Amino acid sequence: MLSAEDRDFYSNPGFSVSGFARAARDNVLGKDTAGGGSTITQQYVKNVLVGADRTLTRKMKELVISSKMAREWSKDEILEAYLNTIYFGRGAYGIAAASQAYFGKPVGDLTVSEGAVLAGVIQTPSSLDPEFNRPAIEARWGYVLDGMVEMGVLSPGDRGEAAFPETVPSDQLARANETPGPEGLIRSQVLRELSAAGISEQVLNTEGLRIVTTIDPWPSKVQSTRREATSKVNPRTCGPPWCPSTRGRVRCGPTTAARKVRVTTTHRRRCRPVRRSRCSVWSRR
């Protein structure tokens, strides 16, 4: 990761003066590359705290916060936070999700070549997916491995033996993440409405938002309760399966068809018939 994004990460003060000057110049000239050249600390601040607006004000905030963070956080803490929030493409935020999205395995099982692929796609995830732009990501992959050799963390021999790894199909990931049934339809609709309101997928996955919908789960709970209550009703008596007061000698019938049994206090306490029921307790002759 450091080979791809910030080879001087452990020695820089959290920001790059030359990168800031270059970004300021490109903003003035209106270039599409404006905002590049940031350190890992600056990228984290941009993604999580100040946003990605291409303005000098935003860049100044990024510079100040990055400098303060470099003084108050250790380098390992900054790197960990960065790896857990950066976007890798395929809907994956964080190195753990990216490992599953591209190779279908935990981070600890990645090879050096696979890790170099993930480090390479960070630059422009939408255009560096190996499935759709293999030549571009292979060039970036080679750049990452060459940088590792320069940094002394990879031997030239291992670099020469490295082969570009195969990735899992992106549609396989989409099928695995698809939520079935009504919940999936609701989730898709909520995401569409959030996108229309200007809330991006990156904001949803990095800013700890809690989405509350107006969909009330109460009707489903009521139906479940009704089914449960129905299963406990004796179909012959329209009441409890067994009434200890009447020894089960109860039946349903019109309220004017026979003489009602006077329900004692004990019977009321034990049986507690359902209100608004047309069923009554009758005596047998």
3-state SS of 127-172?
Answer: CCCCCCCHHHHHHHHHHHHHHHHHHCCCCHHHHHHCCCCCCCCHHH
Looking at residue 213, its pLDDT comes to 79
Identify whether the C-beta of residue 259 lies closer than 8 Å to the C-beta of residue 283.
yes
Question: For the chain, give me the number of helices (H) and strands (E)?
Answer: 14, 2
pLDDT at 271 over 70: no
pLDDT tens track for 32-52: 444 455 889 988 888 888 877
Looking at residue 74, its pLDDT comes to 93
Looking at residue 90, its pLDDT comes to 84
Using CA atoms, how far apart are residues 86 and 1, in angstroms rounded to an integer? 11
Percentage of the chain with pLDDT > 70?
Answer: 61
Looking at residue 163, its pLDDT comes to 94
Looking at residue 30, its pLDDT comes to 60
Looking at residue 126, its pLDDT comes to 80
pLDDT tens track for 174-203: 555 556 667 777 777 887 788 788 776 666
Task: Kindly indicate the confidence band of residue 258, based on its pLDDT and cuts at 50, 70 and 90.
Answer: very low
Higher per-residue confidence, 216 vs 81: 81
Q: Tell me how many degrees the CA angle 246-252-257 measures, rounded to the nearest 5.
A: 105
Looking at residue 164, its pLDDT comes to 95
56-60, 223-227, 269-273, range with greatest mean pLDDT: 56-60
Q: Could you give all domains of the chain from N- to C-terminal order, each with its CATH number?
A: 2-171 (1.10.3810.10), 179-215 (no CATH), 229-271 (no CATH)
Looking at residue 26, its pLDDT comes to 60
pTM of the model: 0.60
pLDDT tens track for 118-176: 999 998 888 899 988 999 999 999 999 999 999 999 999 999 999 999 999 877 665 55
Task: Kindly indicate the confidence band of residue 226, based on its pLDDT and cuts at 50, 70 and 90.
Answer: low
pLDDT at 117 over 80: yes
Arithmetic mean of pLDDT, 213-228: 62
Higher per-residue confidence, 113 vs 13: 113
| Exposure b/e, 230-249, CB count within 10 A at least 16 = b | eeeebeebbbbeebebbeee
pLDDT at 216 over 90: no
